[in-house]
Structure 1
Amino acid sequence: MRINVKEKLLAIEPKYKQIKDILAQNILEGRYAEGEKIPSENELAEQFKVSRHTIIKALNELINEELICRRQGMGSFVVPAKARRKNRIGVLVYHSDNPYYSKIIRGIEDYAKRHGFYIVLCNSEGDILKEESYIKGLLSDVDGFLISPSYMQGELSPGVRLLMQEEMPFVIVSRLPSHKVAGSIDYVIPDDYEGGYKVTKHLIDSGYREILFMTVAGLHRQPEIQDRFLGYKKALSDEGIPFDERFILEAA
């Protein structure tokens, strides 16, 4: 199959880049099927009226962009779309307006940009079905996920299970569904126990003795809240302050 060359190569841009762009357009427009072999280096050199060295540079660009791959002794083949790198990362959080999550998102975005990646941000608002729907919609459009999963009474959410089933790279951030899954998934989370301990110790050192532990109603069972609570109790115990259930408040 001959390449669709619509215009002559221009002198203002390196020829190998122009050839790369033409080949990429042919691949992305489906003129080659996924897995199909493209013309050889010599054939392309003849079609474009350039040296084989120029063609090799163009093909190396396509390899870097994961549009083609070389097979030893066989030639170059079109990489299936599903296997190509998209340079996009799906980021699912409870709500991006939350100051806690907004700082996490900013850090993700800054790091991703420095490495040539973009983020696709979704707010699950703790809705399990919404989270799963976002993941299904993004599976073919991103290279992986960073996700703060919806809470499911210590179980993995359907969205996280789907990522595991599809063997899609993902990292859980901010919160674990349960400590029992810690060994089976990748995660980056704060030390909630230490955080609960230190903030309570700080208040005690500042002269306070009656310290309120407050959380949103129904969230007290979540692992991260439990860890903060245990840290809170340990700090009280270390300072000889009796634990008093009157100072536990679950706000509506």
Structure 2
Amino acid sequence: MWIWSMAQRRLQSTPSKRSSGCLGWAESMNRRPIRTAVSAFLCNESSMANKIIQPDDATSVRAQLREILLSEIKEGRFPEGGRIPSERDLAQRYGISRASVREAITELINEGILFRTVGKGTYIATASARAHASTQTRNIGFFISEDIFHFVQTGYNRILRGVGEACGLGGDTLVFHSVRDSGGLPADGSVKLSGCVVVGGLRRTALERLKEAGIPVVLVDLLVKAEGADATAVTIDYGGGTRMAIEHLVQLGHGHIGFIGLAGSEKYDAYWQCLEQFGLAYNPRHVEFLPSMDLEPGMLAGFHAMQKLIAKSQLPTALLVTNDYVARGVMEALAMAGIRVPQQISVVGYDDLGVKTTPPMTTIRVDLDKVGRLAVEALYRQIEGTRVRAGQTVVPVELVVRGSTAPRERSPERSVLD
């Protein structure tokens, strides 16, 4: 309240009778802005202070702040074109995180109610700007390698679903392109893109072309690494998931753990590194690599790979498999050979894609829809002019234990496989 007291003292010390001449005019003009500015300041402070965010409320903190800001705007607390308080000020005022403030503001920006100017702040959009924003639709590209697109893959469908849902919430149109040889770009330039999500990676030359065209890019699940690419990426913690699976099998007493997947993949690298970490021997006879061109292999690939391992006549006591579809093929081949899961061999899949097996499959769960949503959120921040530092957002994974893994001591039948 010291601001108001200071203003009152200044007003009281000013002669009530207007002085003549330039000095009198200046004094009278000086008084009015002080009273107006202080009154407006106190009015906004008191009105916003009366509105409290309840952390325990069923409505999220982000949604509560959004409604408060929306109410203040509708009540005219902030004029059109006026700047709202900074993220830091709002976070301190309501005792919430800056991340929650940023999410609420981003929603209002997406709705055309606010707009952000880099380096200056966030402002109330004019009525004409809001009307334009409500009817304007952006085109968001979804680029995927033809090598991947030719396979029917539930995993990538789920990433696409997450991207589509996020674009739908933003009122935007999703434009699908399959990219030949993981390097080129669509030749048809008839559709103007506001940004694009790239799945599987692009060569550096292709990324440079997008950059030159001023199109923001977010990379997802880099199967083909973009060397030297200065771009934002959303990746999956494959290495962490592999470590969870190996640790689970070691805790069950398994000392001979095999792998079926892609050579040079993050999962394979984490596999042999974890064996070293737990003091287990790496046995090449317990490893079967899938064809390198089979970027997203399925059940048939797993079936053939398991047949090759069985033919070696020296099976491990447990297997880590690159995805659930391959793992289902592995379990089919084991059943055909009369080898029971988990009594004689444990199997761990990857991605938790809802594949039905008997017994139910232990796997590493990945929220692939979330991967797609995070990619679009990162892309929107770039489109809106927010400074986004190039780097990776790593999506965590979790181990889901079901019936395809069991302790090594569970059955003496395992001894025939050692």
The alpha-carbon deviation at position 117 of structure 1 amounts to 1.4
**What does the per-residue CA deviation read over 1:184-209, in whole Å, with 9 as the maximum and x for residues that have no partner?**
11110112221222222223333433
Q: What letter is aligned with 2:181?
A: D
The CA distance in 1 between the partners of 2:277 and 2:129, in whole Å, is 63
Q: Contact 1:212–1:248 (CA<8 Å) still a contact in 2?
A: yes
Counterpart-to-counterpart distance in 2, 1:60 and 1:197: 51
1:41-190 equivalent positions in 2, closer than 5 A = 59-60=128-129, 63-64=132-133, 86-93=137-144, 94-95=148-149, 97-124=152-179, 127-128=181-182, 131-133=184-186, 136-138=187-189, 140-150=191-201, 156-175=203-222, 177-178=224-225, 181=228, 184-190=230-236
Q: Which moved more, 1:86-95 or 1:200-209?
A: 200-209
Mapped contact 1:89–1:118 kept (Cα < 8 A): yes
Preserved contact between residue 112 and residue 119 of structure 1 (Cα < 8 Å): yes
Aligned to 1:212: 258
Change (3 A) 1:60 1:177: same
Partner of 2:244: 198
3-state SS of paired residue (1:103): helix
> What is the alpha-carbon distance in structure 2 between the residues aligned to residue 236 and residue 195 of structure 1?
14
Quick one: distance in 1 between partners of 2:176 and 2:153?
14
Distance in structure 1 (CA, Å) of the matches to 2:200 and 2:207? 7
In structure 2, C-alpha distance between the alignment counterparts of 1:139 and 1:169, rounded to whole Å: 18
Per the alignment, in what secondary structure is the counterpart of residue 162 of structure 2?
Answer: helix
Partner-residue secondary structure (3-state), 1:97: coil
Considering only CA atoms, is the larger Rg found in Structure 1 or Structure 2?
Answer: 2
Where in structure 2 are there 5+ consecutive unaligned residues?
1-125, 292-418
User: Against the structure 1 CA distance between its residues 123 and 172, is the aligned structure 2 distance closer, same or farther, given a 3 Å change threshold?
Assistant: same
The number of aligned residues is 162
Partner Cα distance (1:164, 1:149) in 2: 18
Which one-letter code corresponds to 1:167 in the other structure?
Answer: G
CA distance in 1, matches of 2:190, 2:249: 46
Asked whether the equivalents of residues 176 and 189 of structure 1 are also in contact (C-alpha less than 8 Å), the reply is no
Q: Is the 8 A contact 2:220 2:233 kept in 1?
A: yes
Q: Deviations over 1:4-56 (max 9, x none)?
A: xxxxxxxxxxxxxxxxxxxxxxxxxxxxxxxxxxxxxxxxxxxxxxxxxxxx9
Structure-1 separation of matches of 2:181 and 2:214: 23
Cα displacement string for residues 145-188 of structure 1 (whole angstroms, at most 9, x for unaligned residues): 0002457xxxx254323212222101000116448536x11110
CA contact (8 A) 2:137 2:173 kept: no
